[in-house]
């Protein structure tokens, strides 16, 4: 296969990775940006989204698009509700202390993972895509559904941007992110904002999971790699920066796709991503688009 077609395939694969990674990392970045909480259980909310998607989609007979649409609506709500409860029951009681919440979300990680193992089982189970026309290019065929994932992620990212930048809810979140105490002085219910943000972050992870689960399968251990990659993206992009997160996700996703395919080594792709994290932490700790601490 020539270099051009190879690069095309690499870019397509990279874009699929970047699309789901952007949504996933955005949830993590949002939670850290507003709450200053590092949510180590974020990967398990992703996994939970996939598991719920399987449960919902298999409950519907008939055309797979029906089950998938239902899953796309229900999974984020279920996962968001779980996250909301977790925030109210755990994080709030710890007063959002940075060190304590890391330990708490690690505990949350194991609880969610083991509950999924207990009730869902240890098998990988498929979810049918709503559509999957095979697109034949001159050199290779490609999944039409994967292209749909890229488009859907783009729409969702635009939606999140609109909410954050153009709505009152977004204004409230940004104000809380900027200065929680002053926001509280202005009557913003900071506690409820935190709960909402934590739930929203989890919902983004769940949406990413629903989009990706027809490509891979729902498996109780599937949350780990997305979590690690999300941390990479958030660190490079700048904690709390939406724009940085999206750019970093594109950078990491495309480089993963391109390096994995061109150099036939997924391990090399991960090595370079980790090296990039190290460089960012050393030379530009606020990330590409983050602002330096005052």
Partner 1 sequence: MTDARKPSSFLTSSVSRRSALKGLGATAALTAAPGFVRYAQTQSSAPIRIGFQAHRTGIGASYGRWYERTTAAAVKAINAAGGINGRPVEIVTEDDGTDPARGAEVVEKFASQHKVDLVYGTLFSHVVTGSAPAAGELKIPYYVVSEGYHVASGKLNRWVIQPGITDVRAQCRSVAPWISQNVGKKITMIYPDYAFGHDHRDFFAPAAAEQGAEVIAQIAIPPTETSFTRYFPQIPAGTDVIYHVMVGPAVLTFVKELGEFYGGRGPKLFGFIDSLEAVDMKSPGLDFLEGSHFWEGMPRYLQADASEAERAYRDAVGLDENGAAANDPRDVSTNAHMFGCWETLYIIKRSMEAAGYRGIEDRQKLIEATEAITELEEGVEHPQGPKRFDGKIHQVFGVQNISVVENGKLNVVHKTAIEDGLYEPEADYTTQSF
Chain contacts with partner 1 (rule: CB under 8 A): 1, 5-6, 9-10, 13, 17, 64, 117, 121-124, 126, 128-129, 132, 134, 136, 140-143, 215-217, 219-222, 225, 257, 260-261, 264, 266-267
We find the least distance from the C-beta atom of residue 76 to partner 1, in angstroms, to be: 22
We find the least distance from the C-beta atom of residue 274 to partner 1, in angstroms, to be: 16
- C-alpha distances out from residue 68 to 129, 171, 226, 251, 283, Å: 7, 32, 21, 29, 44
Nearer to partner 1, 143 or 286 (CB): 143
CB 207 within 8 A of CB 49: yes
- Enumerate residues 6+ apart whose C-beta is below 8 A from 105: 37, 38, 39, 40, 41, 42, 91
Nearer to partner 1, 64 or 170 (CB): 64
Nearer to partner 1, 150 or 163 (CB): 150
Nearer to partner 1, 1 or 61 (CB): 1
Nearer to partner 1, 46 or 289 (CB): 46
CA 285 and chain centroid, separation? 22
Nearer to partner 1, 97 or 225 (CB): 225
We find the least distance from the C-beta atom of residue 119 to partner 1, in angstroms, to be: 14
Whole-angstrom Cα distance, residue 13 to residue 7? 10
CB burial readout 117-138, b (16+ within 10 A) else e = eeebeeeeeebbbbeeeeeeee
CB 76 within 8 A of CB 210: yes
What tokens does 248 get? Answer: 């970093």
We find the least distance from the C-beta atom of residue 261 to partner 1, in angstroms, to be: 4
CB 68 within 8 A of CB 56: no
- C-alpha distances out from residue 48 to 73, 86, 189, 265, Å: 14, 14, 29, 29
We find the least distance from the C-beta atom of residue 124 to partner 1, in angstroms, to be: 3
We find the least distance from the C-beta atom of residue 140 to partner 1, in angstroms, to be: 5
């Amino acid at each position: 296969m020539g270099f051009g077609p190879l690069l095309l395939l690499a870019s397509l694969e990279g874009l699929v990775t970047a699309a789901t990674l952007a949504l996933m990392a955005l949830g993590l970045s949002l939670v850290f940006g507003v709450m200053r909480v590092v949510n180590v259980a974020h990967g398990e909310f992703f996994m939970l989204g996939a598991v719920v998607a399987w449960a919902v989609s298999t409950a519907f007979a008939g055309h797979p698009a029906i089950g998938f649409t239902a899953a796309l609506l229900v999974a984020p709500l279920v996962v968001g509700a779980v996250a909301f409860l977790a925030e109210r029951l755990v994080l709030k009681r710890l007063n959002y202390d940075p060190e304590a919440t890391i330990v708490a979300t690690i505990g949350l990680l194991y609880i969610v993972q083991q509950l999924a193992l207990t009730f869902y089982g240890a098998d990988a189970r498929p979810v049918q895509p709503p559509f999957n026309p095979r697109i034949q290019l001159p050199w290779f065929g490609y999944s039409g559904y994967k292209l749909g994932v890229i488009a859907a992620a783009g729409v969702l990212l635009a939606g999140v941007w609109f909410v954050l930048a153009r709505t009152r809810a977004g204004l409230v979140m940004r104000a809380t992110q900027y200065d929680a105490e002053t926001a509280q002085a202005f009557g913003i219910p900071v506690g409820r904002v935190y709960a909402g943000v934590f739930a929203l972050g989890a919902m983004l992870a769940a949406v990413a999971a629903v989009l990706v689960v027809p490509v891979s399968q729902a498996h109780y251990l599937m949350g780990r790699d997305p979590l690690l990659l999300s941390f990479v993206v958030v660190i490079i992009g700048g904690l709390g920066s939406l724009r940085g997160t999206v750019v970093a996700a594109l950078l990491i996703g495309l480089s993963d796709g391109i390096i994995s395919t061109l150099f036939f080594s997924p391990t090399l792709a991960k090595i370079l991503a980790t090296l990039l994290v190290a460089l960012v932490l050393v030379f530009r700790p606020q990330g590409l688009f983050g602002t330096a601490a005052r």
